[in-house]
Structure 1
Amino acid sequence: MSTISEVGTDIFRVNLELEPDFDVSCFVIRDEAPTLVETGFRKAYQDTYDAVRRVIDPRGLRYIVVPHWEGDEAGALEPFLGQAPHALPVGSPIGAMTTLPEVGDRAPLALEEGDELDLGEHRLVALITPYVPTLDGMLAYEEATGTLFASDVFATPTLGGRAVSDGDDSDAMIGFYETVGVFPSREHLDAALDKIEALEPDALACHHGSVKGGRARPYLRTMREQDVTGVTSWNPMRE
């Protein structure tokens, strides 16, 4: 069953632990234009939908942000769109040109670098991050709370199920990447880190593991210093 935690003003983490030390999260932004960042796996859709419904009426979603096309990030996009007649899928220009038009019955919204999505009290700014971790990569930064929706960047194991971690869990992050891989290119990762560092985010809302609150700099430094590139065949959804 998914758990829900408020991790910023009107920002809610919907988290599902899939196996020991491996979880996925999506994030609900409650605002004039209700927004879902990531959807989780399709096979977990009903559980995720029920959790989102405890925060907002999912039928009123206006935007569903897809940082990149993978099953854990966007597998449940189609059923969410089916329930939310006015929701637009939102992605990078490459995502909006390739994968997103194949899902649902409405044209996606493409965000270029620096484009802003006005939700009311919250405002999302797009960071286009090709190959972080996939060609269509995009991160979103919420200006009012200083929250970076970091997707697979700064990911960790579950960290004991904590919704927010205020310590330095850089070692756990490196261990996660040594097991899972993710980033295929050092050059592209450094380019993404440059964009993140310039924002000085107050919180890192990760798709895997706890939200990292108030201590972004140690994670940035560790990502610069350690080799976290490479891809493995690890599959968290194997039967």
Structure 2
Amino acid sequence: MANVTEIAPDVYRISTYNANYKLQFNQFLVKDDEPLLFHTGMKGDFPLIREAVARIVDPATIRWLSFSHFESDECGSLNEWLQAAPQAQPLCTVVAALVNVSDFAIRPPHWIQKEDVVDTGKYRFRLYPTHHLPHSWDAGILFEETNRTLFCSDLFLHGGDVEPVTESDVIGKARKAMVDFQSTQLLNTIPYTVSTERLMRELGGLKPKTLAIMHGSSFRGDGEKAFLDLASVMKEVFGKDE
């Protein structure tokens, strides 16, 4: 059974732990007039995630299915959700719509640029294009403006079956995960590009109060500082010449 925790007003973290990967996989449901699910989870996990969503809202009422980039744990069960929720649409970046989602999804996506706002009732969302951050050309990061929740995807990833939310530093845990991954087949998880530092500063400049982290504990606190600190760690680990 998935664990469900409210990490910010109307933002629910749905978490399952994979012991093989020693990693949590988290989805985030925003309860509103038009409910939004960020990360659908993998195709095989659809029944488990659907049951968890049903504890909060009727799954058939989901309106928006959003994700950072085209990857199995981000949107593997997208079509299962589109079948379960007749009014739902994928909410994604322009690049995601053009290169993947328009072909893959059984219903046309709603793509937005960073100046566009999606209003779900009480809450307002922007989807910032962040090419290759955390990875993939189509990547984007979702920000809820009202309560300042930033949906971080793979940024701040850290391992273990950890607490749902923390107000402690997450940078040390994230750095350990980056370093550990570099000695595995999953090395170079985040490409360090000429745009990485700028994008990290811009995301931090949104001054998020809650970081909804896909793998590991969510974070409450100074989100701007967390992003600047993580940018330094990423440069240290990934910005070096081979």
TM-score (norm 1): 0.91
1:196 aligns with 2:203: yes
Alpha-carbon distance between aligned partners in 2 of 1:41 and 1:192, rounded to the nearest angstrom: 27
Aligned equivalents of 1:191, 1:85: Cα separation in 2: 39
Moved more, 104-113 or 196-205: 104-113
Partner of 2:238: 229
> How many Å apart are 1:228 and its aligned residue?
4.0
Kept in 2, the 8 Å contact 1:41–1:74? The answer is yes
Q: Does 1:17 align with 2:17?
A: yes
C-alpha displacement of 1:218: 4.2
2:190 matched to 1:183? Answer: yes
Deviation of 1:113 (Å): 1.6
Query: SS of 2:49's equivalent?
Result: helix
Give the Cα–Cα distance (whole angstroms) in 2 for the partners of residues 194 and 68 of structure 1: 20
TM-score by length of 2: 0.90
1:161 aligned counterpart, secondary structure: coil
Structure 1 stretches of 5 or more lacking a match?
A: 231-239
- Contact persistence 2:156–2:170 (CA under 8 A): no
CA RMSD of aligned residues (A): 1.5
Bigger drift between 87-96 and 184-193 goes to 184-193
Distance in 1 between the 2:158 and 2:82 partners? 29
On the 8 A contact 1:49/1:58 being kept in 2, the answer is yes
Give 5+ residue unaligned stretches, structure 2. Answer: none
Structure 2 residue aligned with 1:74: 75
- CA distance in structure 1 between the aligned counterparts of 2:238 and 2:91, rounded to whole angstroms: 27
Q: CA deviation at 1:61?
A: 0.8
Say if 2:207 and 2:222, in contact at 8 Å, map to a contact too.
no
Letter aligned with residue 22 of structure 2 = D
Distance 1:82 1:176, change over 3 A: same
Mapped to 2, the partners of 1:186 and 1:97 lie a distance apart of 23
Shift of residue 220, structure 1, vs aligned partner: 1.9
Q: After superposition, what is the alpha-carbon deviation per residue over 1:23-79, rounded to whole angstroms, capped at 9, x for unaligned?
A: 110110110111101111111111011101111111111110021000111111110
For residues 145-204 of structure 1, the C-alpha deviation after alignment (integer angstroms, 9 at most, x for no partner) is 11000111122223x421101001211101112215321123232232122121011011
Give the fraction of aligned pairs with identical amino acids, expressed as a percent: 25
1:1-239 map, 5 Å: 1-19=1-19, 21-132=22-133, 133-158=135-160, 160-178=161-179, 179=181, 180=186, 181-226=188-233, 227-229=236-238
2 CA distance for matches of 1:215 and 1:173?
16
SS at match of 1:68: coil
Q: Distance in 1 between matches of 2:195 and 2:74?
A: 20
Alpha-carbon shift at residue 4 of structure 1 (Å): 0.3
